[in-house]
Structure 1
Amino acid sequence: MNASSSDDDTSLSTVPSSSTCWLAIITELDACETNTRMEESYSAIAKAVAEQPDDISLVSIRLKPSDSAHVMERAVELTKRLVRLSENCKDGGKVGVEDQVLLPCPSFKVVCSSDWVEAAVLGGAHGVHVKEHHLSQVPYIRERLTVANSNSPIWIGTSAHSVESALNSYREYQPDYYFVGTCFLTASHPEKTSEADLEGPSLPGTVQQALKVAAKSAPPKVMAIGGIDASNCHIPVELGADGVAVIRAVLQAKDPAKAVADMQSRMKVAVKSSMTTERDLKSATEATHHHE
């Protein structure tokens, strides 16, 4: 847990406890290029949380770097609107989404990419997702967000592509969560053209176990990323991941809420199956030892 968290008000404890698996939605890189794209992005995310808002743990605003003042304005506006959506849910308010209404719910958290720290500060984001090559900026980012939002714990996340890199960044900066991949082939990484180029779906679970050993308190959450959708989201969860992070599987879905529900349903089945398998193995081991 990061240094800004307190014993009685930690950032991770505010995530919906009823949601078995973590699910993060990451924006597409052009989400704030135009007003139309910003509205489309916000609408898709709002629809995704409309029916079962506690199924979403995190929304990450990831945009391609830009010097445009207009893009910055839209990035700040999107951040503000998503934070307001989160706060309205937490406070039991109702937010109209076209002909839908959001019911009272626990709040998800909103973070911005470390290319957009200023948007995070101005938009009141809950934290920043720090790119691996920006990790040295974590102390500065924490300070900026703490000054801007001193009453709330600051969320810091990052990415990892190996157990070693995850352990190194955890020992140095103690982020609250990780995106780990690339698990499957995806348009986000067109340079990876075959399964041999991928880290694979087992890496997130391996990283999660390594961090659990390294953590002095509650370990950070580990979400699988890269080509995740309803057809394969259960695989990294079965292998030990805490959940998944998705982009197009929700943002380009005809029904974002159904896409989220389908993924949560499959992941929860995977968790139950894994727990049953672990319990059976433990019972078999105990029986063997008893007979010996």
Structure 2
Amino acid sequence: MRSEDRQKITDILKLYLVYEEPMLKIPPEEFIPAVIRGGVTCIQLRSKELNGAQNYRSALSLRSMLEGTGVPLIINDRADIALCSGADGVHVGAKDIPPSAVRGLNSDYIIGYSCNTPEDVQTALSAGVDYIGTGPAFPTDTKKDLRELRGPSGIGELIASCPVPAIAIGGITAANCGELCGLNLKGVAVSSSICASEDPERAAAELREMVEKL
């Protein structure tokens, strides 16, 4: 990856929002501008409870709201939804289609891969992904099919020699984000800490302030 491309990826990973609309306390058209003002740098659509048609409509709506903001839209798992909606990339894991296959759909996609083990990291590197998501960093109820808790120290070990940008995910809040400092992370991914907040702009701003200290 060229240095300028790596810097671009690093910049968008700082505060990575995993968007789950059912959690929102305010309408999406108010929520999205608020979290961008608060410092969110990337948005991933994760809609495991929706069917394909619903997921596609959500992706189109998000893409429209993000137009002109510079904040990319990533689709969780569903490369077909990403391709049809004109999203900027796809995030996949061990149970999804391989990241190498996603790359074959669109060479310009931003591709992320979920890593919980050293074997996952090797899969990610072999496929030439743009970033990896590591975790869970802390206990969380947001994701049902949760893998083994890594914790801050486990995440540090996992990414110690990883040459691609890495973010942490799983139970991260403004209160515990400081425990991730010094691990060479490029950012954090959060869902409920922002999506379920009564004041998502403030929640995003508080997390962004902590992320800048990583």
Distance in 2, matches of 1:178 and 1:42, equals 29
Moved beyond 6 Å, runs of 4+: none
Counterpart AA for 1:171: L
Q: Secondary structure at the match of 1:238?
A: coil
**Residue 57 in structure 1 maps to residue 41 in structure 2:** yes
Match of 2:72 among 101, 109, 113: 109
**Residue 186 in structure 1 maps to residue 140 in structure 2:** yes
Query: Shift in Å at residue 27 of structure 1?
Result: 1.5
Query: Shift in Å at residue 142 of structure 1?
Result: 2.0
- Greater helix share, structure number: 1
Q: Secondary structure at the match of 1:157?
A: strand
Query: Shift in Å at residue 220 of structure 1?
Result: 1.8
1:100-150 alpha-carbon deviations (Å, 9 max, x no partner) = xxxxxxx22211012x222211221111001222253x233223234xxxx
Q: Is the 8 A contact 2:21 2:195 kept in 1?
A: no
Extract unaligned runs of 5+ from structure 2.
none
**Residue 199 in structure 1 maps to residue 146 in structure 2:** no
1:24-44 alpha-carbon deviations (Å, 9 max, x no partner) = 00012757xxxxx7x834532
Extract unaligned runs of 5+ from structure 1.
2-6, 32-36, 90-106, 147-152, 212-218, 272-292
**Residue 164 in structure 1 maps to residue 119 in structure 2:** yes
Distance in 1, matches of 2:194 and 2:152, equals 19
Query: Shift in Å at residue 45 of structure 1?
Result: 2.8
Query: Shift in Å at residue 266 of structure 1?
Result: 2.4
How does 1:1-292 map onto structure 2 within 5 Å?
A: 1=1, 7=2, 10=5, 12-15=6-9, 17=11, 22-28=14-20, 30=22, 40-51=27-38, 55-64=39-48, 66-67=50-51, 69=53, 71-84=54-67, 88-89=68-69, 107-114=70-77, 116-136=78-98, 138-146=99-107, 153-166=108-121, 168-189=122-143, 198-211=149-162, 219-269=163-213, 271=214
| Pair 42,123 (structure 1): closer, same or farther in 2 beyond 3 Å | farther
Number of positions where the alignment pairs a residue of Structure 1 with one of Structure 2 = 212
Query: Shift in Å at residue 72 of structure 1?
Result: 3.7
Q: Secondary structure at the match of 2:106?
A: helix
Query: Shift in Å at residue 73 of structure 1?
Result: 4.0
Q: Is the 8 A contact 2:35 2:204 kept in 1?
A: yes
Q: Secondary structure at the match of 1:223?
A: strand
Q: Secondary structure at the match of 1:63?
A: coil
Relative CO higher for 1 or 2, CA cutoff 8 Å, sep ≥ 6?
2
Query: Shift in Å at residue 174 of structure 1?
Result: 1.8
The CA RMSD over aligned residues, in Å, is: 2.8
Query: Shift in Å at residue 181 of structure 1?
Result: 0.8
Query: Which protein has the larger Cα radius of gyration, Structure 1 or Structure 2?
Result: 1
| Pair 174,65 (structure 1): closer, same or farther in 2 beyond 3 Å | farther
TM superposition score normalised by structure 2: 0.83
Q: Is the 8 A contact 2:40 2:208 kept in 1?
A: no
| Pair 29,142 (structure 1): closer, same or farther in 2 beyond 3 Å | farther
Q: Is the 8 A contact 2:177 2:210 kept in 1?
A: yes
TM superposition score normalised by structure 1: 0.63
